[in-house]
Amino acid sequence: MSRRGALLFCALSVIWGLPYLMIRVAVREVDPATLVFLRTAPAALLLVPLAWRAGAFRALSGRWVPVVAYTVIEFGIPWLLMSSAEQHLTSSVTGMLVATVPLLAAVVARFTHPDERFGPARLAGLGIGALGVALLVGFDVAGSNWIWIAAMGVVVVGYTVGPVIISLRLQGAPGLGVVAASVCLVALAYAPFGVTHLPSSVSWNVVGAIAVLALVCTAAAFLIFFELIHEVGPSRTVVVTYLNTAVAVVLGIVVLSEPLTTGLVLGFPLIIAGSVLATRGERAVSAGSPTPMRGPRRSSRRALRQAPRR
């Protein structure tokens, strides 16, 4: 990996480990739906002009139905549910649950692409990952929090199905155009509620958390993501999924003083190990490969399994 690739990789690993902490801080004073609006509106103001100047929207002509479907499933619903869940769950637990996306994506890929092969290692990975989730949830969740675990289950499904839409309906579409359109549509959809439910006052900690979510974790992160894909290819970029989860857990414990629970100690290594095994076996693509939203059908299947979560 080049020095530039390593820097981009490290930056994205940290940046996509931040949202769980920032959301946890922000929802102390801001309604979850308002937070979604405040997160996407500034990002849209930055990304839409870039996509427009690059001609990325023209390439989406005739594809707006799948773009809207992708927006709702990947951004609109998951970001609201995750923000709501973080009013009740720790950022560490939330980050660990999102880390199960590669496990579910491996299963979905088996059904959407029948030529996918499941060897013993991948099957073992699914089993190990499932055990990790069971330990995490069994030790760390009790009482009414089960409803928020279910909400995070919907988030995981959304994060899994979103790339399926990319691989089947938006193959070859420019990634910048899809993401810019998505954050713009989400901002417009949440604007009526967001504008009318702005808090009368918020602390500077919350202002900073929202700014980081919008400008760093959304706008800048996707620009870095596209550059990283071009630099090292999607097969190496997938490792970000595992590192940003570790960042999320460490930040929750160190910054928010969240407890290092038995569920985290036992579940964390099993979920990560299971995800690695369940997604192994893909051959690396060249460093000059385009974003996961471009390329032949085989590259689209890689994107389905490997899309990092944030």
Tell me the DSSP string of 174-225. -HHHHHHHHHHHHHHHHHHHHHHT--S---HHHHHHHHIIIIIIIIIHHHHH
Q: How many CB atoms lie within 10 A of CB 223?
A: 15
Q: Give the residue among 109, 103, 37, 85 at the shortest CA–CA distance from 241.
A: 103
**Helices 240-255 & 262-278 angle (0-180, nearest 10):** 170
> What pLDDT, on the 0 to 100 scale, is given for residue 273?
83
pTM of the model: 0.82
pLDDT at 122: 73
> In the prediction, which pLDDT does 125 show?
80
What pLDDT score was predicted for residue 233? 62
As a whole number of angstroms, the distance between CA 123 and CA 277 comes to 8
**pLDDT tens digits, 268-282:** 888 888 877 776 654
**Residue percentage of the chain with pLDDT more than 90:** 38
pLDDT for res 241 = 67
| CA–CA separation, 7 and 3 (whole Å) | 6
Provide the token pair at 76: 């609109």
Give the pLDDT score at 137. 72
Determine the Cα–Cα distance for residues 58 and 29; give it in Å rounded to an integer: 39
- Domain positions in the chain: 3-306
Q: Give residue 304's pLDDT.
A: 43
43, 118 in Cβ contact below 8 A?
Answer: no
The pLDDT of residue 295 is 39
The tens-digit pLDDT sequence of the chain (310 residues) is 678 878 888 888 889 889 999 999 999 999 999 999 999 999 999 999 999 999 999 989 889 999 999 999 999 999 999 999 999 988 888 888 888 887 787 788 777 766 667 678 777 887 888 888 788 777 766 666 789 999 999 999 998 888 888 878 888 888 899 999 999 999 999 999 999 999 999 999 999 999 999 999 999 988 888 777 777 665 566 666 677 888 888 898 899 888 888 888 888 888 888 877 776 654 433 333 333 444 334 444 444 444 445 6
Provide the token pair at 10.
């490290």
Report pLDDT for 16: 87
State the Cα–Cα distance between residues 212 and 260, nearest whole angstrom: 25
